[in-house]
Amino acid sequence: MTPEARLARFIIGLQASHIPADALTTTRRVLLAAVGTGIAGAGEDGIDALRGLLASRGGAPQARSLVFGDRLPAHAAAQLNGTMCRALDYCDAMAPGIHIGSSVVPAALAAAELVGGCSGAEFLAALTVGCEVGARFNLTEAMYAGFDPTGVAIVFAATAAAARILRLTEKQTVLALGLAFNRCGGSFQSNIDGTLAVRVIQGWVAHAGIECAQMAQAGITGPENFLTGIYGYPVLYGRGQLDPAGVVDGLGDSWRLGAMMFKKYPSCGATQGLTELTLELVRELDLTPARVDSVEVRLNPYCHRLVGHPFRMGDNPRVNAQFSVQYCVANAIVRQSSQLHHFKVGMVADPAVQALLEKVSAVSDPALDARGHTAVDVTVRTTEGAVHRRQLDIAPGYPGNGLSEAQHRQRFRDCMAYAAHPLPAAQVDAFLAAAEALAALPDARALVDALVVGG
């Protein structure tokens, strides 16, 4: 059996009862993180414009948008919801930069509505399969080499979840993944330039998941040798260093989705560790902006390229702040915390934070590669002449330094409190109850019912 066929058989044939408990726990946390950030992200820049554009195109009312309840074609609903789920950059992730749930959850929700409903158990299995496929298509920093990891790898994850819920055959699933292969793309320049394309790419990936599954179901073919062909994924994106067999080795027995991380702070994954160290220093030293002479942050080259450039307000200050060493450090010192509302335009422009930016520098240090993707060193020099150094190898939220169950719940509650279009408390409770007992839920569409204001 080819690797492509093995992958398709896993996607549609995995028995829900064979998924281990720890994998299901991760999937439920993905659902909570994606939905929380999606509800909170509904009021962010670009969402109204995208919502209006998609509504103006019309089409069959196949699935609903979160919060607003707009009835759109399934791929359009997935696109809008996926964009919302990434708008705050507070969703799940995996080193070196894929965001899985913010595309897989919207694609699965849209697919469930498209087919007229599916059981909670099947929905949970589809999410788990999608997350695992995303983890297996994840590449190294060197392989991505500037591509947006989400745009490259997660299109397979969203397609896998949609294929499972749409009940594609093995052959159709191979073709759907082949079509998805042709949708890989996106650049980290979107992040560095501080553009809304960061969140738009996430929506495109969710859209592609639905569309590729629908096309394959309709008989439209994609390349069957997307893993083993001479121009397949391992060659073009794996740069000839990815073993096709390695993508599917141990499917159903060993689970790679356990490498997912969940952010403690509402900014890029590459800023989690430096934010944590800065806040530790603030607490230990009773550090105030007036006492800061300078702050130096040392990152590995990959992370430095993403978040180490000089901060500028730009057209989208939230995005620039989310991907800025300087802003995240200055914000942590001035406000002694890092919260969702700290990345609003007015907060980003705060003169107290802006005045501290010039005292923060970011240094690219190749030696940190040996300590891990999230390794970071922070050195603070005070106006009294003291020097304080701290280092961290595993940032909070990453495997080995994970969040507690209480912290996962608090993340979700923080998102609900931040939301510009808040859900009624009874609906929030209904969603949490349904997510907790998802395997016993008769129809996964009940999740969407709870996530539409007034639904």
pLDDT tens digits along 432-450: 999 999 999 999 999 999 9
For the domain 3-263+402-450, what is the CATH superfamily, name and number? 2-methylcitrate dehydratase PrpD (1.10.4100.10)
Which whole number is the average pLDDT over 398-414? 96
* CA–CA separation, 294 and 319 (whole Å): 24
106 has a pLDDT exceeding 80: yes
Q: In this structure, are residues 78 and 107 in contact, taking their beta carbons and an 8 Å threshold?
A: yes
Q: What pLDDT is recorded for position 225?
A: 98
* 209's tokens: 């998941």
Q: What pLDDT is recorded for position 209?
A: 98
Which whole number is the average pLDDT over 118-135? 98
Q: Tell me how crowded residue 123 is: count the other CB atoms within 10 A of its CB.
A: 29
Q: What pLDDT is recorded for position 455?
A: 72
For the domain 269-392, what is the CATH superfamily, name and number? 2-methylcitrate dehydratase PrpD (3.30.1330.120)
Please report where in the chains the tokens 């309840």 appear, as a residue: 69
Under DSSP, the state recorded for 100 is: -
Which whole number is the average pLDDT over 320-329? 98
Q: What pLDDT is recorded for position 343?
A: 98
Determine the number of helices (DSSP H) and then strands (DSSP E) in the chain: 22, 8
Q: What pLDDT is recorded for position 39?
A: 98
The per-residue DSSP string of 111-172 comes to: HHHHTT---HHHHHHHHHHHHHHHHHH---HHHHTTB-HHHHHHHHHHHHHHHHHTT--HHH
418: left (phi over 0), alpha (psi -120 to 50) or beta: alpha
64-96 in b/e burial notation, b at 16+ Cβ within 10 A?
bbbbbebbbbbbbbbbbbbbbbbbbbbbbbbbb
454 has a pLDDT exceeding 90: no
Q: Tell me how crowded residue 133 is: count the other CB atoms within 10 A of its CB.
A: 32
pLDDT tens digits along 184-193: 999 999 999 9
pLDDT tens digits along 353-372: 999 999 999 999 999 999 99
* 368's tokens: 């940190």
Q: What pLDDT is recorded for position 382?
A: 98
151 has a pLDDT exceeding 90: yes
196-208 in b/e burial notation, b at 16+ Cβ within 10 A?
bbbbbbbbbbbbb
Q: What pLDDT is recorded for position 312?
A: 95
pTM over 0.95: yes
Query: How much of the chain exceeds pLDDT 70, in percent?
Result: 100
Annotated domain spans of the chain: 3-263+402-450, 269-392
| Residues paired with residue 262 on neighbouring β-strands, in sequence order | 92
pLDDT tens digits along 275-319: 999 999 999 999 999 999 999 999 999 999 999 999 999 999 999
* 261-262 and 376-382 beta bridge pairing: unpaired
Which whole number is the average pLDDT over 256-267? 97
pLDDT tens digits along 48-65: 999 999 999 999 999 999
Under DSSP, the state recorded for 33 is: H
Task: Report the mean per-residue pLDDT for the chain.
Answer: 97
The pLDDT-based confidence of 373 (bands split at 50, 70, 90) is very high
